[in-house]
Amino acid sequence: MMDEVSQKHSETPSRCGFVSIIGRPNVGKSTLLNTIIGEKIAIVSKVPQTTRNQIKGIYTDERGQIIFVDTPGVYLGKDKLDQLLIKTSFATLEDADCVIHLVDSSEQTGEEEEEIVRRLSTARVPVILGLNKIDLKGHFLPRYIALWKKMRGCPVTEMKSFLLLPLSGKTKMNVDKLLDAIFEFLPEGPALYSPDTVTDLPQKIAIGDIIREKLLTIMRDEVPHSIAVHVEAIQPKKKDVLFISAIIFVERDSQKEIVIGKDGQIIKKIGTLARKELEPLLGSRIFLELHVKSQKKWRDNLSFLQELGYDD
Ligand SMILES: Nc1nc2c(ncn2[C@@H]2O[C@H](COP(=O)(O)OP(=O)(O)OP(=O)(O)O)[C@@H](O)[C@H]2O)c(=O)[nH]1
Ligand SMILES: [Mg+2]
């Protein structure tokens, strides 16, 4: 029996391809990616626009390799950062062999949703409509199905290269079914990454994101929206100690005071939380130096955004 099984696998050609995860902010794209990969690849928070880069998460098993691309949440905002993020998200469609349109089935549809469905409808790429957060009862699930029906002009059951799947990235519900469905859609081909590679995010961005995640969990109101983190240096210092210095940018002096906190208490807390996560990840003790700077209206300053690594 065992032999039969392994023979079957060796006869099945390996598949490989790119899968973009696209959706509104906060629907759970990064959580789903982390669940599938089994490691924290992308940071997660309750704050919209947590993800600001394309983040690859590479899943490999005996069937082949899926290169997931997590994307910034689609938000139709007006400033330059909003526009760069939206471009970043839809640019992934060009290379995608399959797209997961992820929605929060516990929340209403919105204008962003219409834009996403419109773009995906014309992209001629297989789509999996992931009705996420189904653990929260999914009251608005029919609205998302109706939106797709309206855009394509036929019932979802008649749509070609389309699959509808209730999901929960948090409780892992139907995540196995999702992987089965993706492999069906992917072309045959050899793996592009070695099986032990799980991401290709540059280290400076990964470290900056972890620091930003700690800020997002503590800051309130509009402050998270105004935060950017730029890692300036990562240098081995004395034996076993890595020196990391980063600048936390905010938009106003009043926000700078909030991030620093009374007697530096908040920034110290951020440093401690980030260090705790970074040390096991980087396998070293860390000396983390954080500076806070105010950079007026940076979200709308293209050259500054490029310095931060948000590419046009
Ligand atoms: N109940 C429930 N909550 C979830 C699920 N998936 C994600 N969340 C929560 O939803 C929030 C947003 O999750 P993220 O994974 O950061 O969402 P995102 O789509 O990547 O957000 P952006 O990067 O801002 O676009 C977090 O508080 C998660 O814990 C789920 O399946 N069920
Ligand atoms: Mg995200």
Instruction: Judge if 70 and 214 occupy the same domain.
Output: no
Please report the pLDDT score of residue 7 as a whole number.
Answer: 47
pTM of the model: 0.94
311 pLDDT higher than 80: no
The finding on whether 20 has its CB within 6 A of some atom of ligand 1 is no
Q: What is the CATH number of the domain that holds 168?
A: 3.40.50.300
Tokens of 262: 């009374």
pLDDT in tens, 257-266: 999 999 999 9
Please report the pLDDT score of residue 198 as a whole number.
Answer: 96
**Does any domain span residue 196?**
no
Domain that holds residue 147: 2-185
Q: What is the mean pLDDT of the chain?
A: 94
Please report the pLDDT score of residue 13 as a whole number.
Answer: 83
pLDDT band, very low/low/confident/very high, at 11 (cuts 50, 70, 90): low
Ligand 1 centre and the CA of 89: distance in Å?
17
Ligand 1, atom 1, residue with closest C-alpha: 133
Please report the pLDDT score of residue 239 as a whole number.
Answer: 79
Instruction: Judge if 132 and 213 occupy the same domain.
Output: no
Surrounding ion ligand 2 within 5 Å at CB are 29-30, 50-51
From the CA of 102, give the closest atom in ligand 1.
19
pLDDT in tens, 37-55: 999 999 999 999 999 999 9
Ligand 1 centre and the CA of 45: distance in Å?
7
Number of domains in the chain: 2
137 in Cβ contact with 106 (< 8 Å): yes
pLDDT in tens, 259-295: 999 999 999 999 999 999 999 999 999 999 999 999 9
Mean pLDDT of 207-234: 96
From the CA of 44, give the closest atom in ligand 1.
16
**Does any domain span residue 32?**
yes
pLDDT over 90, % of the chain? 89
Q: What is the CATH number of the domain that holds 263?
A: 3.30.300.20
**Does any domain span residue 100?**
yes
Mean pLDDT of 118-126: 91
Instruction: Judge if 295 and 159 occupy the same domain.
Output: no
What number of other Cβ atoms are within 10 A of residue 186's Cβ?
21
305 pLDDT higher than 90: yes
The CA distances from residue 83 to 29, 88, 158, 219, in Å, are 19, 9, 34, 24
DSSP letters spanning the chain? -HHHHHHHHHHSPPEEEEEEEE-STTSSHHHHHHHHHTS--S---SSTT---S-EEEEEEETTEEEEEEE-------SSHHHHHHHHHHHHGGGG-SEEEEEEETTS---HHHHHHHHHHHHTTS-EEEEEE-GGGT-TTHHHHHHHHHHHHTS-GGG-TTEEEEE--TTT-TTHHHHHHHHHHHSPB---SS-TT--B---HHHHHHHHHHHHHHHH--TTGGGG-EEEEEEEEE-STTEEEEEEEEEESSHHHHHHHH-GGGHHHHHHHHHHHHHHHHHHTSEEEEEEEEEE-TTGGG-HHHHHHTT---
The finding on whether 135 has its CB within 6 A of some atom of ligand 1 is yes
**Does any domain span residue 31?**
yes
Instruction: Judge if 232 and 290 occupy the same domain.
Output: yes
Please report the pLDDT score of residue 122 as a whole number.
Answer: 85
9 pLDDT higher than 60: no
The residues, any chain, with a CB within 8 Å of residue 213's CB and separated by 6 or more, are 43, 44, 45, 50
The finding on whether 224 has its CB within 6 A of some atom of ligand 1 is no
Ligand 1 centre and the CA of 104: distance in Å?
9
Q: Which of 156, 185, 214 is the last residue of a domain?
A: 185
Instruction: Judge if 244 and 108 occupy the same domain.
Output: no
Mean pLDDT of 92-102: 96
**Does any domain span residue 193?**
no
Ligand 1, atom 12, residue with closest C-alpha: 26
Q: Residue 104: nearest ligand to its CA?
A: 1
Q: Residue 49: nearest ligand to its CA?
A: 1
pLDDT in tens, 178-200: 999 999 999 999 999 999 999 99
Mean pLDDT of 122-142: 94
Number of residues that this document lists for the chain: 312
Ligand 1 centre and the CA of 72: distance in Å?
12
